[in-house]
Structure 1
Amino acid sequence: MYNHTTKMLFMMTLIGGMMMTISSNSWLGAWMGLEINLLSFIPLMTNNENIFTTEASMKYFLVQALASSVLIFIVMMIMSVKNEILVLNKFTQPDTMLSLPLMLKMGISPLHWWFPSVMEGLTWLNCLILLTLQKIAPMLLMTNSLDNKSWIMISILMSVIVGSIGGLNQNSIRKMLAYSSINHMGWLLMAMYLSMSTWIIYFIIYVTMTLSIILVMSINQVSLVNQMFVNNIYPINKVMMFMVLMSMAGLPPFLGFLPKWLVIQSMVVNSYVVMSMIMITFSLITLYYYLRMMYAAILLNKSSISWMPPKVTQFNSSMLLSMVMSLLGMMLLPLPLTFYL
């Protein structure tokens, strides 16, 4: 077990590796930053004696090592080929080849197979890091490989479809968040393809929603859908969970609807009407499995034993933090930004 100083050291090197990748002007420097980021996150993942955490960290290490090896191999191959042959055929374009290991690192469909199983074995803090910080550097590297329109559109469609359908039969909230993240990655890729400013707004709001839902679930010690039905969760906390989950699903007038609104508006302006209809349809499926999780939990009566005195709700700091993070999921602050845009 590590102490807090060691955790802070690994977090600093993790963020440093991410910043090194973002600020690098060469693929070799970006690759080095990704490796520093990976080797900083592995000790944070293994800071637990749970066997599921060890298994998840091993899976994550093998997948990320494979993606890094493929990335540096493709970069070296392209550099050697460019010195001899300046023109590449359409199938072996650099942007298509370089996007594959980056998609594997982020868990974007069709290379998403490792993501839900790794999420299942992590603590809530590591889930937050995996869902937010670990996606920044590879996604920004993908801005250099967005020229192949057909490949990007296929990835967006597969991510939206897999992220929606994959979460329907899940009982684990971590796996549901993993499939929801795959769905959001499709929207983020579309936002990045259309406008970088739209992507920045979407990602900031996505990080806010993910932070809110993970803090609420961690405070209330909820990991499975069945635990939403138990009586040891106060009704006010269930309402807070409901607001955060509806914001994550993109239901208006919550905060999660704003970035999808911006993406849909940009898609309609750029004549991607059919694509927008498909993405909206599969987003409704994500809304369905979030509603299914909260519907029974909200409507169930809170039963109590008749000969026991009623339990007084203590307004502690955990409940206050849960309420604050849940209120961030409401669409109150972004309204001036909407009128500005």
Structure 2
Amino acid sequence: MNLNLTKMMFLILLIFSTLFSISSSNWISMWMGLEMNLFTFIPILNFKMSIYSIESTMKYFLIQAFASILLMIFMINKSMFFMINNNLLIILPLMMKLSIMPFHIWLPSMIEGLNWMSCFLMFTWQKITPMILISYLNLNKNLIFLVILILMNSLFGMNQNSFRKILAMSSINNTTWMLMMILMNENLWMNYFLIYSILNLLIINILNKFNINYINQLKFFNLNFFFKLNMIMMIFSIMGLPPMIGFLMKWMLIKMLMYNKMFMILFMLISLTIINLYFYIKMTYFLLFNFNLFNKWFIQNKKMNNFNYLMFLNFFSLFFNFFYLY
């Protein structure tokens, strides 16, 4: 009981620190909220104590502490740096906290030692504060081209076999789409983030339930036909294939860029996202081509769990949205 109260306390403090940061009126208070967020998140990473989680926690602490120091230095000495756009200085430590390229290498190595609940918080909740702080800055729209260069991180997920690292690379890629949406329209970012969080929750729930950590383990993922189908559809959804709700995320930004006649940026975004499809498809390879096990896992467990209804929600949601919007 005591441990449950401890977990609840740190999770409530984590939520409070984020709300404290995003509702502050000056940068010092925002920085204090970021620090509070760091020191409440570290115990959450160590709920299930192991050597790997301690190592990951140390990496996370050092990187975030360094980014916080940089942010404080740039805030205090902003007038000492002779740059045309001072906001560019403040965005660098926030990019480091978000693990956006070129400050992204720490995330895949750190995420490998965490349990799935901590991974989910890293991919979703921990992005909220830096993203909203970036949205407060008066950024020059030329930074869009910087974001396009950032998107080159697609190449780093090619040779990964660990699900945690693949989802980390996916998270970095989706963060760059969110950053682009912040520059274009902040309401779009909120919708994108909500859909992305739901998809992450559904995928991580399946991986956690069946204790799947590496792609090779999908060979033996023959426990339940509907969970297997659900897994494939969730991966297709986060890829952004049209019938799924994941396509709605990218569709919103594509329409916004088309309305603003930013065709070059749109072309580069879509081209670089196609590279990402490679390691998503690699995740589905063992799920799709285990034909010899089909009868076994279909007969083994025919009853449908309530959770699987989300699979149909994922598939038909885009049609409902289409009728609602038009």
Task: State if a TM-score over 0.5 links the two structures.
Answer: yes
Which residue does 1:108 correspond to in 2?
Answer: 100
**In the alignment, structure 1 residue 216 sits paired with structure 2 residue 206:** yes
User: 1:167 touches 1:289 (CA, 8 Å); kept in 2?
Assistant: yes
Which residue does 2:86 correspond to in 1?
Answer: 94
3-state SS, counterpart of residue 101 of structure 1: helix
Residues 274, 2 of structure 1: CA spacing in aligned structure 2 closer, same or farther, 3 A cutoff? Answer: farther
User: 1:246 touches 1:287 (CA, 8 Å); kept in 2?
Assistant: no
Structure 1 segments unaligned to the other structure (5+ residues): none
Which residue does 1:18 correspond to in 2?
Answer: 18
Q: 119, 124, 142: which one pairs with 1:150?
A: 142
**In the alignment, structure 1 residue 312 sits paired with structure 2 residue 312:** no
**In the alignment, structure 1 residue 127 sits paired with structure 2 residue 113:** no
3-state SS, counterpart of residue 3 of structure 1: helix
**In the alignment, structure 1 residue 340 sits paired with structure 2 residue 293:** no
User: 1:131 touches 1:181 (CA, 8 Å); kept in 2?
Assistant: yes
3-state SS, counterpart of residue 244 of structure 2: coil
2:212 and 2:68 mapped to 1: Cα distance?
34
Which residue does 2:314 correspond to in 1?
Answer: 329
1:338 deviates by 6.7
Which residue does 2:27 correspond to in 1?
Answer: 27
1:325 and 1:59 mapped to 2: Cα distance?
36
1:272 deviates by 1.5
Percent identity between the aligned chains?
Answer: 34
1:327 deviates by 3.7
User: 2:96 touches 2:103 (CA, 8 Å); kept in 1?
Assistant: yes
User: 1:95 touches 1:144 (CA, 8 Å); kept in 2?
Assistant: no
Q: 261, 270, 279: which one pairs with 1:280?
A: 270
User: 2:151 touches 2:173 (CA, 8 Å); kept in 1?
Assistant: yes
User: 1:250 touches 1:287 (CA, 8 Å); kept in 2?
Assistant: no
Which residue does 1:5 correspond to in 2?
Answer: 5
User: 2:181 touches 2:253 (CA, 8 Å); kept in 1?
Assistant: yes
| 277-286 or 217-226: bigger deviation | 277-286
Residues 332, 114 of structure 1: CA spacing in aligned structure 2 closer, same or farther, 3 A cutoff? Answer: same
Residues 141, 249 of structure 1: CA spacing in aligned structure 2 closer, same or farther, 3 A cutoff? Answer: same
Residues 5, 16 of structure 1: CA spacing in aligned structure 2 closer, same or farther, 3 A cutoff? Answer: same
1:326 and 1:220 mapped to 2: Cα distance?
17
1:115 and 1:340 mapped to 2: Cα distance?
37
Structure 2 segments unaligned to the other structure (5+ residues): none
**In the alignment, structure 1 residue 291 sits paired with structure 2 residue 281:** yes
Which residue does 1:239 correspond to in 2?
Answer: 229
After superposition, give the CA deviation of every residue in 1:254-284 in whole Å (9 maximum; x if it has no partner). 0010121110111122121111111112222
1:145 deviates by 2.7
User: 2:222 touches 2:293 (CA, 8 Å); kept in 1?
Assistant: no
Paired residues, number: 325
Per residue, is there more helix in 1 or in 2?
Answer: 2
User: 2:243 touches 2:315 (CA, 8 Å); kept in 1?
Assistant: yes
1:152 deviates by 4.2
User: 1:215 touches 1:325 (CA, 8 Å); kept in 2?
Assistant: no
2:256 and 2:24 mapped to 1: Cα distance?
30
3-state SS, counterpart of residue 281 of structure 1: helix
TM-score, length basis structure 1:
0.88
User: 2:223 touches 2:301 (CA, 8 Å); kept in 1?
Assistant: no
Which residue does 2:176 correspond to in 1?
Answer: 186
Residues 110, 143 of structure 1: CA spacing in aligned structure 2 closer, same or farther, 3 A cutoff? Answer: same
User: 2:108 touches 2:168 (CA, 8 Å); kept in 1?
Assistant: yes
Which residue does 2:258 correspond to in 1?
Answer: 268
